Chain A
Amino acid sequence: MFFAMIKKEFILVFRDKHALLALFIMPAIFILIMSISLKDQFSHANVSFNISIKTHDKSDLATKFIEDIQEDKSINILKQNADILLIIPENYFKKENIKLIINVQNTLKSDLIEILKAKLLKKFIDIKLKSIAKSLKGLSPKASKSLSSVDISSEKLFIVKYFKDGSIPSSTQQSVPSWIVFGMFFVIIPISTIYINEKKQNTLVRLNSMNVSIFKMTISKVIPYIVINQIQVWIMIGVGIFIVPLFSTPALVINGSFISITLLSIAVSISAIGLANLIAVSATSSEQATTIGGILNILLGAIGGVMIPKFIMPESMQILSNISPMSWALDGFLKIFLKNEGIFSIAKESLVLIIFGIITLIISMIILNFKIKKGL
């Protein structure tokens, strides 16, 4: 009996073109779009500037300054069509209160300008220090030597730690789990469509009259969608590994184990299917279910860090995000993709998701039982 019910569910889902579109095509497209769009946002190593330089300062220091800029691999010196025109005023290195002019020609993000300013500041300080050291050479050789040895490179001064272990997600590592989780929760579309049709067509009542319990009806819907979610997960991971790099975007790198991915994605499935069941049995029409389900998915996605990564949210929003199962799911996937700490590292996330799924499934069974008794 159970196998027949699972088979029926599979046939119905795979004949529902809209559901397939929502489950497989939509997240795959999102992964591609978001990975490509956000690749610069997540990769500071590849930041580069197209600059033209116009100097009115003919001093040796200004010449050295320009040479240092030219040597910087992240700065391309162009004669025309540059994004930034750098104007070095006359006596810039000689007099105080004369400022370097950074003339931004094209639309550039403010944080990129800040990066450029930091680079130029470092070069300016280097030159000034060396100049002072040179002038002190005769007066105080010790002070001169000490000043010459000052290294103000960021590598010397800072250690940046991302996610506690020194790693930051690439745009693909952020996009793939985000849209996997979002896509998995879209099982609301087929589950509610099939449920509402079963209600309308009286097949649920008929099945109940055939001694099929509410528990069996519900569980027979959980298993197929866990399988469907698994197919989704691995297709999306495939998109991240094989398709995304075709668009000059970093391929998905998975540091954790595939077993961890499978276990976590089953937990995500249970919570997504539980929520979908709850909405499906509560709704009176498929339009109502898909509208409520769609809006709820977007809200949970927004709160849970799917649309905007959690690490750029303010702390209060990061705390609030815990109410969304998508947030727990995303945290779990990021742990697997960025770290390799074994399956126990995702135990907390998995447990929360499974408990959420079981509670929503129990509530949906109570509602369905009540509705069947009332003839739906």
Chain B
Amino acid sequence: MIKISNVSKAYGSLKALNNISIEINKGTIFGLLGINGAGKSTLLSILNGLSNIDSGEIRIFDFNLKTQKSKIKDISSIIPQNLAFYDNLSVNENIEFFSKVQNAKTEDIQKAIELNKLQDILMQKASTLSGGQKRRLNIAIGLLNNPQIIYFDEPTVGLDPKNRNDILDSILEYKKLGKTIIYTSHYMSEIEKICDEVAIIHKGELVIQDTLDNLLTNKDENIIFIEILYKNKTKELNLNLINDTTIKTDEQNLYKDIELLKQNNIAIKQIKYTSSNLEKYFIEATQ
């Protein structure tokens, strides 16, 4: 189990994490949600031993992060959002280098190559790979040491749906192998597809933590979002504005809101129905 207890971290006057407590069960996929700057990446870098905490305690599989950082690094791996490998080396050279750095076993290297479908591009220079292939190499490098805990920091950013699905499928495979996975993403559909449990962080604070099943079964009424072109006078109207260009409404008030916009010559870009409670929670939590 990963137990984060009352953890705080500040950069100068900016509180990146404020008294956060989260528990993550072994062998699960844990979704970490939050808008940019919410504190997700700070938490991931702390869990991976790259940053120190100001207060609180973190225990990872019975290891204390403060005193046993090196042991924790040995059993965990972070798949960074930015591609972290050598462009001037081939796929094989990258794999070989990072394997030797971590003293990886041959069977683990082979498994990482196979799971990420890199067999056919081993001799290709990393800089010449497609976006999806680069993402897969980035992930494979993180799996070479057969980590028990894997931190995925938005691993599907900028990918087409096919590559995205491939990566999500491979993450589900890692779960089957007994890995504990902490996954961050902006895509609710991804979280809904793979995660067992979810936490939403906003402005350094934990807003909600629950199982995905609980969040999705607490069905509420459908929410409708009206996206409009920005106009100053929108703020003066009696509308439920989430931000300058988004109005949150429901089926009962939809036509009334549209009429109001029409009367004030405010153009509508799109009307979006959402039935996802996760998205609802996320939007409400981050408002």
Q: Which residues of A contact B (CB under 8 A)?
A: 1, 3-5, 7-8, 11-12, 15-16, 197-198, 201-203, 205-212, 372-373, 375
Cα A198 to Cα B98 in complex, Å, equals 14
Question: CB distance B89 to A211 under 8 Å?
Answer: no
Between A and B, 14 residue pairs with Cβ closer than 8 Å are A4-B96, A4-B97, A7-B97, A11-B89, A197-B86, A201-B83, A203-B84, A206-B98, A209-B48, A209-B78, A211-B74, A375-B45, A375-B50, A375-B51
B86 near A210: Cβ-Cβ < 8 Å? no
How close is B257's CB to chain A, nearest CB, in angstroms? Answer: 43
- Alpha-carbon distance between A55 and B77 when the two chains are bound, in angstroms: 94
User: What is the bound-complex CA distance between A207 and B89, given in angstroms?
Assistant: 16
Instruction: Give the chain B neighbours of A202 by CB distance below 8 A.
Output: 80, 82-84
- Is B89's CB under 8 angstroms from A210's CB? no
Known A-B contacts A212-B101, A372-B50; the reply to A12 vs B82 at CB < 8 A is: no
Question: Min CB distance, B160 to chain A, in Å?
Answer: 23
Selected contact of B100 from candidates A3, A197, A198, A205, CB within 8 Å: A3
Q: How large is the interface on B (under 10, 10 to 19, 20 to 34, 35 or more residues)?
A: 20 to 34
Asked if A206 meets B87 with Cβ closer than 8 Å, knowing A1-B100, A1-B103, A4-B100, the reply is no
Given contacts A5-B101, A8-B97, contact A209 B83 (CB under 8 A): no
B111 to chain A, nearest CB (A): 18
A214 CB to closest chain B CB (Å) equals 12
Cross-chain contact A209 with B73 (CB below 8 angstroms): yes
A201 and chain B: residue at smallest CB distance:
B84
A residues in contact with B89, CB < 8 Å: 8, 11-12
CB distance from A215 to the nearest CB of B (A): 14
Residues A8 and B141 in contact, CB atoms below 8 Å apart: no
The residue of chain B having its C-beta at the shortest distance from the C-beta of A375 within the complex is: B45
Q: Roughly how many angstroms separate A5 CA and B82 CA in the complex, as a whole number?
A: 21
Of A207, A211, A372, which one neighbours B70 at CB under 8 angstroms?
A: A211
The 3 closest A-B pairs by CB, nearest first: A4-B100, A202-B84, A206-B84
- Residues in B with CB closer than 8 Å to A208 are 50
Expressed in whole angstroms, the Cα–Cα distance for A209 and B102 within the complex equals 10
| B148 CB, min distance to chain A CBs, angstroms | 15
B→A interface (CB under 8 Å): 45, 48-52, 70, 73-74, 77-78, 80, 82-89, 93, 96-98, 100-103, 141, 145
A210: B residues at CB distance < 8 A: 73, 77, 98, 101-102, 145
Contacts of B50 in A (CB 8 A): 205, 208-209, 372-373, 375
Q: Nearest-CB distance from B78 to chain A (Å)? A: 5
Q: Give chain A residues whose Cβ lies under 8 Å from the Cβ of B88.
A: 11-12, 15-16, 197
Choose from B52, B84, B86, B98 the contact partner of A12 (Cβ within 8 Å).
B86
In the bound complex, do residue A11 and residue B93 qualify as a contact, i.e. CB atoms below 8 Å apart? Answer: yes
Q: A11-B93, A12-B86 are in contact. Are A209 and B49 (CB under 8 A)?
A: yes
Complex interface: chain B residues within 8 A of A211 (CB): 70, 73-74, 102
B101:A207 contact, CB within 8 angstroms: yes
Chain B contact residues: over half helix, strand or loop, or mixed? loop
Decide yes or no: A203 and B85 within 8 Å by CB, A4-B100, A373-B51 being known contacts: yes
Complex contact B100–A206 (CB within 8 A): no
With A8-B89, A373-B51: A205-B84 Cβ-Cβ less than 8 Å: yes
C-alpha spacing A5/B96, complex, angstroms: 11
In the assembled complex, the CB of B135 is this many whole angstroms from the nearest CB of chain A, namely 14
Q: Within the assembled complex, what's the spacing in Å between the Cα atoms of A66 and B122?
A: 83
Q: Determine the chain A residues whose CB is within 8 A of the CB of B87 once the complex forms.
A: 197, 201
**Which chain A residue shows the least CB distance to B52?**
A373
- Shortest distance in angstroms between A192's beta carbon and chain B's nearest beta carbon? 15
Q: Closest CB-CB distance, B79 to chain A, in whole Å?
A: 9
Among B49, B102, B141: residue with most chain A CB under 10 A: B102
Residues of chain B with a CB closer than 8 A to A373's CB: 50-52
**With A and B bound together, what is the CA distance between A197 and B87 in angstroms?**
9
- Could you tell me the distance between the alpha carbons of A339 and B103 in the complex, rounded to whole angstroms? 49
Across the interface, A206 reaches (CB within 8 A) one of B52, B70, B141, namely: B141
- What's the Cα separation between A212 and B84 when bound, in Å? 15
- Contact partners of A203 in chain B: CB under 8 A: 84-86
CA distance A221 to B82 in the complex (A): 24
Which chain A residues border B103 with CB–CB below 8 Å? Answer: 1
Q: A209-B48, A210-B102, A373-B51 are in contact. Are A201 and B86 (CB under 8 A)?
A: yes
Which residues of the partner chain B approach A5 to less than 8 Å between Cβ atoms?
97, 101
How far apart are the CA atoms of A209 and B149 in the complex, in Å?
13
Whether the pair B145, A206 counts as a contact (CB closer than 8 A) is no
A208 to B87, CA, bound (A): 19
- The distance from the CB of B36 to the nearest CB of chain A, in whole angstroms, is 14
Residues of A within 8 A of B86 (CB): 8, 12, 197-198, 201, 203
Question: Nearest chain A CB to B120's CB is how many angstroms away?
Answer: 22
Question: Considering the chains assembled together, what is the distance between the CA atoms of A192 and B89 in angstroms?
Answer: 17
Instruction: Identify which of B49, B88, B98 gathers the most chain A CB atoms within 10 Å of its CB.
Output: B88
Contacting residues, chain A, for B49 (C-beta < 8 A): 209
Q: Closest CB of chain A to B196's CB: distance in Å?
A: 24
Query: CA A212 – CA B102 in complex, angstroms?
Result: 9
Output the nearest chain B residue to A15 by Cβ-Cβ distance: B88
Complex interface: chain B residues within 8 A of A212 (CB): 101
Q: How far is the CB of B225 from chain A (nearest CB, A)?
A: 34
C-alpha gap A12/B103 in the complex (Å): 21
B240 CB to nearest A CB, Å: 37
Residues of A within 8 A of B97 (CB): 4-5, 7-8
Among residues of A, the one whose C-beta sits closest to the C-beta of B78 is A209
- The answer on a CB contact under 8 Å between A4 and B51 is no
Interface centre among A4, A16, A208, A212 (most CB of B within 10 A): A4
Min CB distance B29 to A, Å, is 20
A60 to chain B, nearest CB (A): 82
In whole Å, how far is B178's beta carbon from the nearest beta carbon of chain A? 21
CA distance A5 to B102 in the complex (A): 11
Select from chain B the residue with minimum beta-carbon distance to A7.
B97
The minimal Cβ–Cβ distance linking A183 to chain B, given in whole angstroms, is 23
- Chain A residues with CB under 8 Å of B141's CB are 206
- Residues of A contacting B74 with CB < 8 Å? 211
